Amino acid sequence: MNLRTTALLVASALLLSGCATLGAQYTAAGAAPPNRGTVYVYRPGAMAPAVSPTVSANGVPLVELPAHGYFVYYAAPGELELAEHTEAKTSVTLDVKAGETYYVKGTVGMGFFVGHPHLVLVDKDTGEKEIKDCKLVPATVPTAETVAAGPPPAIAAKK
């Protein structure tokens, strides 16, 4: 394999590493289970496509959030801390009420080595408008019961 081929392969790998496979275009989720709030976490825009931070809820990893992706989490009422880590940490806390819907927007800004993630709670109008361009992240999102049980021992030990 000559140098040119190697360079092309490396460049292709770098380009494709940011192209996560996403599912269906956004559609509003059905009614939340009883005594649960609906939390949409989405990431519009194509900034830093190679960075897909894992979103965690109260310390329990949920799913990776790539550019243009979204997922739905049905949260138990009370405080819910959603966080992401790269070389920097971001977290936002919601006061979840049963039957309510929340939109949390994720972005990735410039960092020193890796992009810095940001999560922010946005109002319903903004959320509904921006999430339309996103596609479902094809992953199983842990339930509120799993989150309530706490982080796995390996993660808990790090804290």
Give the footprint of other proteins on this chain (CB under 8 A).
47, 79, 81, 83, 88-93, 95, 105, 107, 109-112, 116, 118-122
Pairing state between β 69-75 and 101-109? unpaired
Strand order in the sheet with 101-109: 116-122, 101-109, 37-42, 69-75, 135-136
Residue 6 or 126: the one with the smaller Cβ distance to other proteins is 126
Question: With respect to other proteins, which residue has the nearer C-beta, 26 or 103?
Answer: 103
Going from the C-alpha of 22 to that of each of 19, 66, 67, 133, 138, the distances in angstroms are 9, 9, 10, 12, 6
Q: Closest approach of Cβ 143 to other proteins, in Å?
A: 22
Closest approach of other proteins to the CB of residue 2, in Å: 33
Dihedral sign (CA 24, 115, 129, 141): positive
For 93, the enclosing helix (H) or strand (E) is: strand 89-96
Q: How far is the CB of 30 from other proteins (least distance, A)?
A: 27
Residue nearer to other proteins on the CB measure, 4 or 159: 159
Shortest Cβ 81–other proteins spacing (Å): 5
Q: Which is nearer to other proteins, 82 or 144 (CB)?
A: 82
